[in-house]
A and B are shown apart, each in its own frame.
Chain A
Amino acid sequence: MQNTKRVAAVALAAIMGALSLSACAGAATPQASAGGTSATGPVALRVVSLLPGSEQAAIDAFNAQVKEFESANPGIDIQPEEYEWKATTFAAQLAGGTLPDVFEIPFTDAKTLIENEQIANLDTQFQTLPYAAKFNAAIVDAGKGADGKIYAVPAKNVYGVGLHYNRDLFKKAGLDPNSPPKTWDEVRADAKKIADAVPGVAGYAQMTQSATGGWQLVANTFAHGGRVQTVNSDGTTTSTLANDGTKASLQMLKDMRWSDNSMGANFMFDWSSINQAFAAGKVAMYTSGSDVYTSLVQTNGVKADMYGLTAMPLAGTDAGVLTGGTMVAMPADATDEQKAAAIKWIDFFYLRKLVDKDRAVADAKTLVANKQPVGTPVLPMFNKEQWTENQSWISEYVNVPLNQMTGYTDTMFDLKLVGEPSQQTQEIYKLLDAVVQTVLTKKDANIDELLTKANTQAQALLDQK
């Protein structure tokens, strides 16, 4: 009888032990809660490194930069994490607390995250940056809360959408790779030539999934002179999806797909899979941010010779180039220690190289040493003069084929820039995904109907706020 009491005690102890083990295991797993230790130990900072699946050389380059930073800042321990921002996975990561301490978001997301009190106030730390006042006002505004304080810091890849093309496929089809198409009609004609000349290749491809379909459709819309939203003076927003620009874009896609058959046979593309298809030589032309070349090299192993970049053809009055970019933010519960460490990292890794010659050169040297791209065209975060100066600092290290990108770089400051729609951006992009998919996969798709329906849904979303 004593036996059973003892047994019960042992069993209960075992269960308690198991529970506490789980507590220990939880603490010991890679996901530690808010990283910093006490003031005596180094502050641990989890930061974004590279896209999943990146080349070893890219990873080495990044690690070299981490080393450089850590030796200059012994009180900070940088922990790199692979990261890909995706409209469909970001929220779960934020909710689950699994985002790095310093994570990246697109311009369009910052305001809503600020409203929801999900990202930390970085204003004090931001103002310590010597160049804080020099930012392009519109860009820095995207990260400001209603209180005028900075919550998200502009970080990198301010892009204009451009037309990327495969020079090898152009040559194969008898087109001159140094004269990429300048109008949408030329794009259509070239796409057809390539699709006819090289079987199995898509002359032109378009993203269609995970909100990127809507993103590119909106880019096309801007390029055709349309706009998808109007923010009214009273704070409400009117959705204008059924505009002529969007209609023209969809009509062009429809013609290329069904009349010309120049868009290949596969249509499920998001940002990374279209890059993959392009690098593999299965897609001859597509539109995406002008900064994509870096990723093409780091993740898809693209060869420099085949790559060409030109400006988005613009048609009609009010036509413009969609522009966006990446900001960094921290979770709302970041400690002051972490914020202080973070702003140092942000300065070192993202921003200083744009304004400081020594840093720019050092950064370029590290990248070149690891065969990473230097000089991919991006738009200025400060102003044109700063950008030009920056280019001159790194000009001897530039290893991207800029001469194959002149179609874009020659005009990038002259073309009108249009920011992404600011209200319910990702949700509206997702709606438009379905519209693009329908046009590409249903022969008898009625564009007007689709747009009217989408517009009603978009307006309902906008009215919700």
Chain B
Amino acid sequence: MTTTLARPAAPIVPVPLAEAAPETPSLPEAPVGRERGAVSPSEWRRPHVRFGLGLTQVVLLALLVVAGLGPMLLLAKFAVTPTQDILSTPLAVFPNGIEWGNLDQAWNRVHVSQYFLNTIWLAVGSWAVQVIVATTGGYVLSVLRPAYGKVIQWLVLATMFVPAVVLLVPLYLIILHPPLLGHSLINSFWAVWLPSGASAFNVLLVSRFFDSLPKEVFEAARVDGAGNLRLFWSVLLPMSKPILGVVSIFAIISSWKDFLWPLLVLKDPNIQPLSVRLPAIAGTTDLGVFLAALAIATLIPIGLFLAFQNHFLNGAGFSGAVKG
């Protein structure tokens, strides 16, 4: 069970389309305030059930807090603990006071600020490329439907059968010697941005969504004389906000997590993102400062998550609906 689950890129699974396609252009949301699960409300009132089930739920909550929140709290604590204390008594509560300097050192001396910025740049660029490819591609496959559309669709789907590992070496060599361009893309953000767009999952997600849009709107626009561009820009995109939200969240999260690929193609420390840089300086950075750097690296993903919880959780659940 790896974190790849949260980013279902290139799994070898043909996604069964069509069945259970939502009729409306909104995402299936977990019904809020569902009246019941397997246990009925009347059963809840029985003391046995209340106690037993309630207890298991409390235990579950405790476990979730310890397992889910615990490591993060520890990280936050270590980020401001002097290194000696971390080494000798890691779980003691600040026996020698708080060391705020760790954060300052991490941000400035270890230049976490720079890698942070690089990570953001990578995420923004990848997001843009993915959105452009998925929306235009989905538009062509789902709305415009040229004769060659089926071929493209099959080719795109075929890539979902291919595990990412197969691309590793040849893609690296293509980045070294790209067709058309005269020089390598190594050490350029483009080496990360462009390949990220080749996500069959995104294209599929978006085209399914477009399929579910009511055709009447398009017909009406056509009748009004809208060309392809106008149809795309003024009619389709505004209706696509939900799916763009899902795609965006996946894109940003998966870019933030990306490790092996940036490791291979971004060799210049100045443009490396956090995920590549942090392991590289682990051996030469003071432990307290290093943990402070780790803490800083988690801030944005966690912050985004807390702010947009619903989107995350619904998006994650939606991906399950797509697969199931």
A and B touch in the complex (CB under 8 A): yes
Least distance between A286 CB and chain B CB atoms (Å): 15
- Whole-angstrom distance between the alpha carbons of A31 and B190 in the complex? 13
- Chain A residues with CB under 8 Å of B180's CB are 19
Q: Look across to chain B and name the residue whose beta carbon is closest to the beta carbon of A30.
A: B268
* CB nearest neighbor in B for A83: B269
**B174 proximal to A (CB < 8 A):** no
Q: CA A33 – CA B281 in complex, angstroms?
A: 26
Residue of A nearest to B180 (CB): A19
Interface pick from A20-28, A240-248, A348-356: A20-28
User: Does B184 lie within 8 Å of A7, measured CB to CB?
Assistant: no
A-B pairs with beta carbons under 8 A, tally: 90
Q: How many residues of A contact B (CB 8 A)?
A: 38
Are B183 and A33 neighbours in the complex by a CB distance under 8 Å?
Answer: yes
Interface residues of B in 241-285 (CB under 8 A from A): 264-265, 267-271, 280-285
Which partner residue on chain B sits nearest A271 by CB separation? B283
Asked if A272 is at the interface (CB within 8 A of a chain B CB), the reply is yes
CA distance A30 to B187 in the complex (A): 7
Residues of A within 8 A of B287 (CB): 280
Contact A3 B227 (CB under 8 A): yes
Asked whether A22 and B267 contact (CB < 8 A) given A4-B227, A52-B281, A276-B284, the answer is no
Instruction: Answer yes or no: A74 CB below 8 A from chain B CBs.
Output: no
8 Å CB contact of B284 from A27, A53, A282: A53
Contacting A at CB under 8 A, from B13-59, are: none
Assess whether A7 is in contact with B110, with CB atoms less than 8 Å apart.
Answer: no
Q: Which chain A residues in 272-303 approach chain B with CB under 8 Å?
A: 272-273, 275-276, 280, 282, 299-301
Which residues of chain A have C-beta atoms less than 8 A from B109's C-beta?
A: 56
Q: Contacting chain B: which of A95-103, A133-141, A449-457? A: A95-103
B104 contacts chain A at the CB level, 8 A cutoff: no
A-side contacts of B190, CB under 8 Å: 22, 25-26
Number of B interface residues at 8 Å Cβ cutoff, please give it: 36
Question: Which residues of B have CB within 8 Å of A27?
Answer: 183
**A316 neighbours in B (Cβ, 8 Å):** none
The verdict on A82 contacting chain B, using a C-beta distance below 8 Å, is: yes
A4 contact set on B, CB distance < 8 A: 227-228
Pairwise interchain contact A280-B227, C-beta atoms closer than 8 A: no
Are B269 and A272 in contact (CB-based, < 8 A)? no
A92 touches B264 (CB 8 A): yes
Chain A: which residue is nearest B194 at the CB level? A22
Closest residue of chain B to A54 (Cβ to Cβ) is B284
Interface centre among A22, A82, A92, A273 (most CB of B within 10 A): A22
Question: A82 and B264: CB pair below 8 A?
Answer: no
* B269 near A31: Cβ-Cβ < 8 Å: no
With an 8 A cutoff between CB atoms, is A200 at the interface? yes
Instruction: Judge whether A272 and B227 touch: CB under 8 Å.
Output: no
When distances are taken between beta carbons in the complex, the residues of chain A under 8 Å from B268 are 29-31, 81, 98
Kindly state whether residue B166 has any CB partner on chain A within 8 Å. Answer: no
- Which of A23, A33, A53, A300 interacts with B110 by CB under 8 Å? A53
Instruction: Decide yes or no whether B87 CB sits under 8 A from chain A.
Output: yes
8 Å CB interface, A220-269 against B: none
Interface residue A51 (Cβ < 8 Å from any Cβ of B): yes
Interface string of B191-232 (1 = CB under 8 A from A): 000100000000000000000000000000000000111000
**Closest-CB distance, B119 to chain A (whole angstroms):** 17
Complex Cα distance, B185 from A97, in Å, reads 11
Beta-carbon nearest neighbor of B109 in chain A: A56
- B75 at the binding interface (Cβ < 8 Å): no
* A97 to B176 alpha-carbon distance, docked (Å): 9
A270 CB–B CB distance under 8 Å: yes
Check if B103 is an interface residue, CB within 8 A of chain A: no
A392 close to chain B: CB less than 8 A: no
Identify B184's interface contact among A81, A97, A299, CB under 8 A. A97
Of A26, A93, A280, A282, the contact of B188 (CB 8 Å cutoff): A26
Q: 10 new A-B pairs (CB below 8 Å) besides A23-B182, A29-B189?
A: A7-B229, A22-B185, A22-B188, A26-B181, A26-B190, A27-B183, A31-B186, A53-B285, A272-B283, A273-B283
Q: List 25 A-B contacts (CB under 8 A).
A: A3-B227, A4-B227, A7-B227, A7-B228, A22-B190, A23-B181, A25-B189, A26-B190, A27-B183, A29-B268, A29-B271, A30-B270, A54-B284, A56-B109, A81-B268, A82-B269, A93-B267, A95-B176, A96-B265, A98-B267, A98-B268, A280-B87, A280-B287, A282-B87, A300-B284
**Interface residues of A, Cβ cutoff 8 Å to B:** 3-4, 7, 11, 19, 22-23, 25-27, 29-31, 33, 51-54, 56, 81-82, 92-93, 95-98, 200, 270, 272-273, 275-276, 280, 282, 299-301
